[in-house]
Structure 1
């Protein structure tokens, strides 16, 4: 396929691509860049040509190369399916090593907007999602909480969680609104043992499934107009702790991380928090 035909077929591919306008625009720029480079250098559209292309742009960040490589791979798969190529020149390419993404937490006011969309009669949903947000539990850990795991002794409210690797940890319940919601919820339960959060479909109790919880959460977020996954509630809690000056060792214990390197991913504090800490330190030096 010569460069002129490549450019024509690339536009056809982009027309048929069912992706967001931003993705289509990025792919168009990537394919045009490759086409222009092949035309200028005289390289062919084959494996060695792609090797030379990426070698000539070794300054690209891994994320940039990864995106460009994805665009090329999808285009060539599309071309092969339409018999426009007889082989895929991207098969030998190795994926660049990408660092794990920095966990993105939401501001409290954004999360509260979602909570405001939960009807008053859905006390179970409201409590489950606030428990995750105010304690940083994994959603699976929250669904695994039993009534007998709770200790609501005044002044020492906490729960016992079975986390990853069957490791137990104690989580302090330090938010008054959460504790009060737990007390009201327990008062209305008709049982004192078993899962704290049970399904009520068709009037039958039983463990609440992750899929059901995910669907309900997605509905609340859509009504609030806020994009947030269930796992981001955990990230949001960790981010609040970091910005509040809580030590990474304490956050690690709170979240049940086995390795401190996992906790370090949350260590990107806000500018205002960093500035306040530096001012406090400066005052101690006077």
Structure 2
């Protein structure tokens, strides 16, 4: 009599690899896709730097050696070095679940305090004159509202208040919301941009798409929100792309690199010799408001600064010349 066949043993699920575990933990904690990409990249570099040894086998001297390599041989900035440290410590604390009594031994790089680059009002005018179309509108918003570039590009239709002349910045730096001013001169161009965005949205809906990315599982909570007009980006991308996390094809907002390149090119054409990036327009917004006599607390709220001391850095240009001092050479 033949014996009954023995069923194969069930496959034992393999634990996820280290970097995949890192990705999963970052997503559980709702970190941004940019933070995920940066942390995974730094963890990979750290492992490769130490000959692919597992981080469990490494300690404080190894972390310090990697950070020293970045500072001395790679000559990275203090902020980059500190980002690498944050990524490695996240790996140990959140993924490997290790108590690290040696954490205090890993010293953070000291960030130098730099004065921001600020354009004069004439330079801002010249810069904007050399921009056109959507790039002009985004750059004008940065100068007219004090928003950061990603805050402007992530602006959604529902957060534009034409009647109240204000914009609501959602999930800004530090995951904070705030309200800023909507310049009167940008109302008509912004309405035209939103109409172009509406046409793109209708085109996506006709193609069976049109669902935008929503934060914190709102797409599950509100089934129709992702395709609703109010949740669409004011500055949608010209092409659709695949979400790197979900694999869903959708239309994201414009890429910040396109604005950065346009501003740099416009600055060269305008003959502006200062380093000019979109963030310089935010610096100029704050400085020009203070020069116009607005209270520093008001400017702090518009910028979304947690501490007024951060806003006070813009007071360096309020007096003519170096701190308003008359040089003795001019008295000769």
* 172, 196, 199: which one aligns with 2:181: 172
Q: Shift in Å at residue 201 of structure 1? A: 4.7
Deviations, residues 141-199 of structure 1 (Å, cap 9, x unaligned): 1111111111111xx211110211211111121x2212232123223432434111122
Map 1:122-141; keep pairs closer than 5 Å: 122=133, 124-141=134-151
Cα pair 1:103 1:266 within 8 Å, conserved: yes
**Partners in 1 of 2:259 and 2:168 — Cα distance?**
21
State the partner residue of 1:220: 266
**Separation (CA, whole Å) in 1 of partners of 2:277 and 2:119:** 10
**Aligned pairs, how many?**
178
Gaps of 5+ in 1: 1-72, 75-95, 276-286
CA RMSD of aligned residues (A): 2.9
For each residue in 1:50-70, what CA deviation from the matched residue of structure 2 results, as whole angstroms up to 9, or x when unmatched? xxxxxxxxxxxxxxxxxxxxx
- For 1:105 and 1:231, the matched residues in 2 are separated by 10
TM-score, with length taken from structure 1: 0.55
Contact 1:241 1:251 in 2 (8 A): yes
Establish whether residue 198 from structure 1 lines up as the match of residue 246 from structure 2: no
The CA deviation string for residues 254-274 of structure 1, in whole angstroms up to 9 with x for no partner, is: 000011111111122433699
Matches within 5 A, 1:265-276: 265-271=313-319
Query: Which residue pairs with 2:291 in the alignment?
Result: 243
Cα distance between partner residues in 2 of 1:108 and 1:178: 17
Instruction: Decide which of 122, 144, 149 is 1:109's aligned counterpart.
Output: 122
Structure 2 counterpart of 1:32: none
Q: TM-score, normalised by structure 2?
A: 0.48
Q: Distance in 1 between matches of 2:138 and 2:271?
A: 20
Gaps of 5+ in 2: 1-71, 74-108, 202-228, 242-249, 325-332
